[in-house]
Amino acid sequence: MMPLRFGDVTVERLVEAEGPGFFPGFLIPDCDEEVLTAERDWLRPHFHHGETGRLIMSVHSYVVRTPKHTILVDTCVGNDKDRPSTKPWHHLQTPWLENLRAMGVAPEDVDYVMCTHLHVDHVGWNTRLVDGRWVPTFPNARYLFHKDEYAHWEAAEAASPDAGGSGGSDGCFTDSVLPVMAAGQAVLVDNGHSLDDTFWLDDTRGHSPGHVAIRMAAGGHEAVFSGDLMHHPIQAMYPEWNSRFCHDPEMSRATRRRFVDGHAERDVTVLAAHFAAPTAGRIVANGDRCRFQV
Ligand SMILES: [Zn+2]
């Protein structure tokens, strides 16, 4: 994704990993592969890998710079973390932090970290390993977590402390969220919370109990960091298709449908957490259904 400019705000993508990933039927059990094949003309080459049939996916953060602040949206998987449930993420090593520096952002420069939700691939770089301890990666940042999302994972970790957390979380709340809280850098926020008169949080729960989309209005244009309310652009066309990681299936479908219907033919740049390059796009009407247009 080329850097995007919205007035005096810039948005860049910081990639941790990208390429052919899950098979469609694994990530999106609701997916009808015949339907997917029929849509290959607009899904290829960016979002569907013809040779393997896999979905092309990305794990990335967004680096947002305003005249006042440097903001990170979602922080990927992170380095050195114990993630036995997902082999490619177990003790991962990537130059994510070096690449952030190469963009002109030192860890000390980050003012805010905003997590759309607290799944394992959205909180990793909240912390890093220093002398055997997990410490906040960004010493001067405030980290904004939705209060309901935080409460859910706090209870889940408490209920299964020896199981490495619930589901595929592999204890990410313990190593990537609690140290931020312990350092006094976490701020628990609610829907509608705003920042700089430019960003505000929009309730999009369903994929997770307190999932938020982060909306932005700047330079006469709107954008939305939509997190995991869609994992793949095909879900703009079939919002009833859930991912296997959706917490509340019915709420997740309803939230996605409302989001897609509400953005069709609106000039809002959609910036999802896992859409591969070129990543940014709009939702456009396409007969009875919508489509994602890069
Ligand atoms: Zn995710």
The CA 41 to ligand 1 mean position distance, Å, reads: 25
The CA 99 to ligand 1 mean position distance, Å, reads: 20
Closest of 122, 162, 171 to residue 143, by C-alpha = 122
| CA–CA separation, 137 and 76 (whole Å) | 13
Q: Which domain holds residue 120?
A: 4-293
| CA–CA separation, 37 and 219 (whole Å) | 39
| Statement: residue 145 has pLDDT above 80 | yes
CA 219, distance to chain mean position in Å, is 24
The CA 109 to ligand 1 mean position distance, Å, reads: 25
- CA distances, 248 to each of 11, 27, 83 (Å): 31, 16, 23
| CA–CA separation, 95 and 192 (whole Å) | 34
The CA 198 to ligand 1 mean position distance, Å, reads: 24
**pLDDT given at position 137:** 98
Confidence of residue 159 (pLDDT cuts 50, 70, 90): confident
Residue 55, strand partner residues = 48
The CA 219 to ligand 1 mean position distance, Å, reads: 29
Identify the CATH number of the domain in which residue 162 sits: 3.60.15.10
Share of the chain above pLDDT 90, in %: 91
**For residues 174-183, average pLDDT:** 98
**pLDDT given at position 247:** 95
Its sign, for the CA torsion 198, 202, 207, 211, is: positive
At 90, list the tokens: 């177990």
pLDDT averaged over every residue in the chain: 95
What is the DSSP secondary structure assignment for residue 131, as one 8-state letter?
T
The CA 23 to ligand 1 mean position distance, Å, reads: 16
Decide which of 227 and 166 is more confident: 227
At 53, list the tokens: 């049939």
The CA 168 to ligand 1 mean position distance, Å, reads: 12
The CA 245 to ligand 1 mean position distance, Å, reads: 9
Q: Domain tally for the chain? A: 1
The CA 40 to ligand 1 mean position distance, Å, reads: 23
CA 256, distance to chain mean position in Å, is 15
| Statement: residue 233 has pLDDT above 90 | yes
Phi, psi of 172, deg, nearest 5: -65, -25
**pLDDT given at position 166:** 47
The CA 182 to ligand 1 mean position distance, Å, reads: 25
| Statement: residue 49 has pLDDT above 60 | yes
| CA–CA separation, 176 and 1 (whole Å) | 27
The CA 273 to ligand 1 mean position distance, Å, reads: 6
Phi, psi of 154, deg, nearest 5: -60, -45
| CA–CA separation, 116 and 154 (whole Å) | 16
| CA–CA separation, 163 and 239 (whole Å) | 33
